[in-house]
């Protein structure tokens, strides 16, 4: 290798050695400083920072910003304390605390598990109220473990909350089948030489699912002990008597423990409730100091909301530190509660009057049960003259309109109901487009009243400028007149549309009301949970798609006549009770059969809207076959078609199981009767003898040719 050409490429150690060469003795200090100033200044060595040191440095910086952490407390010096002090400390603990201490270190275990420490365990047991004395055949630690340690004694599964007092163990479900045997196994384990004794009476037993179960290890110990007696009958009888006496005492003690366990759970529950109640009062006191005095007059709903708040229902005393941690969400809740409370107060005169209306109309509803369509309480308060006048009175004005004889009031209500029906019918009639209204002249109208399906024999005259109530009802009962709710898209006919629950919905609660109408709407939400029929004017619309579907159904049904669909009423089609098959939905292996009302809904849905769907009427033989099969269906039980009428109660449409549950929970009636406690609801999706949906049939069952 060639020698280095210059010192610039020499080793760093040799270069440093040259730099450290001393200057001549005769040289002045100034000249030496000038020479040294010309030398390059060496950089200072940097300390190598490892990953651990870097983390330590970052943590120290974080501590400077967050403040020093509190030193974690330790009980490592506890075993080194004098025994007299330790014993004094232990006597103030409970048995479960001593169990935990004995399982921490070997030193403490050795200290607490000796016979000399039994006094400590007894003193600790005395700290538990009404706890029975430890039985003589159990040690104090084993007794404490049975009472307080919620772990399975075989696999240590946690939360094994139910002890088996007679057998003195806790056993989880997984270990039960391996550690316990039933009475049959006990008898089979005994050989014929033990026929003179009763082995089941010599073992502690637990009743599980109405059967006796015995601990397997107790059975094994008994068999081993009996084998040592060498078939000595006198000894066997003596052992039997002794064991039976011990088991009887053990079962009595088990009953004592069960009673204590029940009372202790009740005591702890009461203590927890007391702590929660005290915490609620303390939080309310803090809120009063923050200016929320109005919360002393909370409504029941707000009170429940306060009590169910996760930061309120904790069984802990409220300290300053806890309040500082929870004050922000609690105060946020208090602001919202104050807003609701002020809203409740603002509309209180409306809610009070609606409550009065409910009471005075209870007798009326008892006289007019379902399925009759009558106004709801909200309809009475808004659409009828008698109660609307009372509702609009100024706050604080006595309700003079209700201080009249009962009979006179009921006559006014009956008159208001008649006016309400005419008003609602005219409102629905005005929704029908003019080009689909039936052209009823006097002659044609008279014929329409006597025949369901009418043939157009005479040209009708021009429409009356103001249709009569009779003409309006005729138009609403026509099979081609259909409405649809805009809330859920339910297809409705008359008069179901007046009882439909979606038409009785309205705006949500307004927490910042400004007008009397806002207060009234809030009152409807709070007190009734419903609004007057079509309160906002946009809940019900006329359905032209269903109108066209009904026209097609009438044309298919009355193909050989010149019937006018607009003059054919629904009752006539109901009496015919034909069944129809959709050619588009039916395939090679299935035919969809439906009644005429379901067919109207089927043809007007999104899949068939605007299409020329083939619809076929079943022949008489197939129709009878379908009707026989429909009679076996369970749709009357599960369709929403029943309403409660007990004591003037008027519920929404519900299924039969829901109806039975309502009768039990709200009226205490276990076996409600149809016609007495519940009845067919006017908002039912179907009638009890007609299915509410299409049913699938095999083509092999039906003989009617189905064009597709």
pLDDT at 1 over 60: no
- Is 651 part of a structural domain of the chain? yes
Residue at token pair 């308060």: 381
**What pLDDT is stored for residue 59 in this prediction?**
46
Q: Is the pLDDT of residue 693 over 50?
A: yes
Inter-helix orientation angle 469-476/406-431, to 10°: 60
Q: Is residue 551 part of a domain?
A: no
Closest CA to 656 of 683, 629, 674: 674
Residue 410 lies in a domain: yes
Q: Residue 14: its pLDDT value, please?
A: 53
- Paired sense of beta strands 642-644 and 591-594, if any: unpaired
Residue 377 lies in a domain: yes
Looking at the structure, tell me whether residues 420 and 512 fall in a common domain. yes
CB of 440 closer than 8 Å to CB of 448: yes
- What does the pLDDT read at residue 191? 83
Are the C-beta atoms of 361 and 406 separated by less than 8 Å?
no
My answer on whether 412 and 508 are in the same domain is yes
- The count of other CB atoms within 10 Å of the CB of residue 139 is 14
In this structure, the strands spanning 615-617 and 678-680 are unpaired
What is the percent of the chain where pLDDT is above 90? Answer: 59
The torsion angles phi and psi of 455, rounded to 5 degrees, stand at -90, 140
User: Mean pLDDT of all residues in the chain?
Assistant: 85
User: Are 382 and 506 within one domain?
Assistant: yes
Q: Are 549 and 609 in contact (CB under 8 A)?
A: no
The rounded distance, in Å, linking the Cα atoms of 642 and 654 is: 5
Handedness of CA 314, 316, 318, 323 (dihedral sign): negative
Q: Which two tokens stand for residue 457?
A: 């024999």
**pLDDT tens digits for 76-131?**
777 788 888 888 999 999 999 999 999 988 888 998 998 888 999 999 999 999 99
Domain end among 109, 134, 149: 149
Record the pTM. Answer: 0.69
Of 132, 149, 166, the position where a domain reaches its end is 149
Q: What is the pLDDT of residue 196?
A: 83
pLDDT higher than threshold 70 for residue 209: yes
Cα angle for residues 69, 72, 76 (degrees, 5° grid): 160
Query: Could you tell me if 499 and 638 lie in one domain?
Result: no
Q: List the alpha helices (DSSP H) in 455-561.
A: 469-476, 496-499, 516-523, 544-557
Report DSSP letters for 85-116, one per residue: HHHHHHTTS-HHHHHHHHTT-HHHHHHHSSGG
- Per-residue model confidence (pLDDT) at position 355: 94
> Across residues 300-310, what is the average pLDDT?
94
Q: What is the pLDDT of residues 400-456, one digit of tens each?
A: 777 888 889 999 999 999 999 999 999 999 999 998 887 755 434 344 444 444 544
Same domain, 490 and 392: yes
Residues 538 and 635 in one domain: no
Domain interval for residue 353: 349-431+483-542
The sign of the dihedral angle between the CA atoms of 206, 210, 216, 219 is positive
The single-letter DSSP state of residue 640 is: S
With residue 52 as reference, give the H or E element that holds it.
helix 51-66
Does a structural domain hold residue 523?
yes
Domain count, the chain: 3
Whether 379 and 510 map to the same domain: the answer is yes
Specify if 136 maps to a domain.
yes
pLDDT tens, residue by residue, 480-523? 999 999 999 999 999 999 999 999 999 999 999 999 999 999 99
Tell me, letter by letter, the H, E, C secondary structure of 424-486.
Answer: HHHHHHHHCCHHHCCCCCHHHHHHHHHCCCCECCCCCCCCCCCCCHHHHHHHHCECCCCEEEC
End of a domain among 542, 574, 609? 542
The answer to whether 639 and 686 are in contact (CB under 8 A) is yes
Based on the fold, state whether residues 530 and 424 are members of the same structural domain.
yes
Residue 572 lies in a domain: no
Residues 515 and 628 in one domain: no
The answer to whether residue 70 is domain-embedded is no
Q: What is d(CA 442, CA 446) in angstroms, rounded to the nearest whole number?
A: 6
Mean pLDDT of 11-28: 48
pLDDT for res 74:
66
Do 423 and 529 fall within a single domain? yes
Q: What is the pLDDT of residues 38-67, one digit of tens each?
A: 444 555 555 554 555 454 554 444 445 444
| Cβ atoms 530, 505 nearer than 8 A | yes
pLDDT in tens, 371-400: 999 999 999 999 999 999 999 988 888 777
Residue 537 has pLDDT above 90, yes or no: yes
């Amino acid at each position: 290798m060639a020698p280095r050409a210059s010192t610039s490429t020499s080793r760093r150690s040799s270069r440093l050695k040259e730099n450290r060469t001393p200057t001549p003795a005769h040289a002045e200090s100034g000249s030496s400083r000038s020479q040294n100033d010309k030398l390059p200044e060496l950089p200072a060595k940097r300390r190598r920072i490892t990953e651990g040191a870097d983390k330590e440095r970052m943590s120290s910086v974080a501590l400077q910003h967050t403040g020093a952490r509190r030193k974690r407390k330790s009980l490592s010096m506890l075993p080194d304390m004098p025994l007299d002090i330790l014993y004094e400390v232990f006597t103030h603990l409970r048995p479960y605390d001593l169990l935990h201490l004995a399982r921490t270190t070997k030193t403490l275990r050795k200290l607490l598990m000796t016979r000399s420490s039994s006094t400590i365990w007894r003193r600790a047991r005395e700290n538990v109220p009404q706890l029975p004395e430890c039985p003589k055949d159990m040690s104090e630690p084993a007794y404490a473990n049975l009472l307080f340690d919620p772990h399975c004694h075989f696999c240590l599964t946690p939360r094994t909350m139910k002890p088996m007092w007679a057998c003195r163990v806790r056993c989880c479900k997984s270990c039960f089948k391996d550690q316990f045997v039933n009475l049959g196994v006990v008898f089979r384990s005994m050989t014929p030489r033990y026929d003179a004794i009763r082995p089941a009476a010599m073992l502690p037993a637990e009743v599980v699912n109405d059967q006796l179960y015995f601990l397997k290890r107790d059975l094994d110990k008994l068999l081993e002990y009996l084998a040592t007696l060498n078939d000595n009958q006198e000894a066997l009888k003596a052992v039997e008597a002794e064991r039976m006496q011990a088991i009887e005492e053990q079962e009595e003690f088990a009953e004592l423990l069960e009673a204590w366990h029940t009372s202790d759970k009740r005591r702890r529950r009461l203590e927890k409730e007391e702590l929660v109640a005290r915490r609620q009062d303390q939080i309310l006191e803090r809120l009063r100091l923050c200016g929320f005095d109005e919360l002393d007059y909370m409504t029941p709903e707000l009170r429940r909301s306060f009590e169910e708040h996760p930061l309120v229902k904790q069984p802990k005393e409220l300290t300053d530190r806890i309040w500082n941690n929870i004050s922000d969400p609690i105060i946020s809740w208090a602001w919202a509660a104050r807003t609701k409370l002020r809203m409740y107060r603002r509309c209180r005169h409306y809610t009070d009057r609606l409550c009065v209306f409910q009471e005075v109309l209870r007798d009326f509803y008892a006289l007019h049960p379902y399925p009759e369509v009558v106004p709801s309480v909200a309809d009475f308060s808004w659409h009828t003259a008698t109660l609307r006048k009372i509702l609009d009175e100024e706050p604080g004005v006595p309700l003079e309109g209700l201080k009249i004889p009962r009979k006179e009031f009921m006559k006014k209500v009956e008159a208001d109901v008649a006016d309400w029906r005419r008003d609602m019918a005219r409102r629905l009639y005005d929704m029908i487009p003019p080009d689909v209204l039936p052209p009823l002249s006097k002659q044609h109208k008279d014929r329409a009243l006597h025949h369901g399906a009418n043939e157009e024999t005479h040209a009708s005259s021009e429409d009356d400028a103001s249709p009569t109530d009779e003409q309006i009802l005729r138009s609403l009962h026509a099979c081609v007149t259909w409405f649809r709710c805009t809330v859920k898209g339910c297809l409705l006919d008359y008069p179901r549309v007046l009882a439909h629950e979606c038409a009785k919905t309205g705006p949500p609660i307004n927490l910042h009301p400004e007008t009397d109408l806002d207060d009234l709407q809030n009152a409807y939400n709070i007190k009734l949970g419903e609004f007057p029929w079509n309160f906002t004017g946009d809940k019900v619309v006329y359905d032209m798609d269903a109108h066209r579907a009904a026209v097609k159904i009438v044309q298919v049904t009355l193909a050989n006549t010149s019937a006018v669909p607009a003059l054919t009423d629904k009752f006539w089609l109901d009496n015919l009770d034909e069944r129809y098959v959709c050619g588009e939905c039916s395939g090679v292996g299935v035919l969809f059969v439906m009644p005429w009302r379901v067919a109207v809904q089927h043809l007007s849905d999104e899949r068939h809207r605007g299409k020329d769907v083939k619809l076929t009427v079943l022949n008489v033989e197939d129709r009878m076959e379908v009707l026989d099969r429909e009679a076996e269906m369970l749709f009357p039980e599960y369709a929403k078609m029943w309403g409660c009428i007990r004591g003037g109660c008027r519920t929404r449409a519900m299924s039969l199981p829901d109806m039975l549950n309502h009768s039990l929970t709200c009226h205490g009636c276990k076996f409600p009767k149809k016609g007495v406690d519940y009845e067919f609801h006017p908002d039912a999706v179907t009638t009890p003898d007609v299915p509410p949906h299409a049913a699938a049939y095999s083509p092999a069952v039906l003989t009617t040719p189905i064009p597709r």
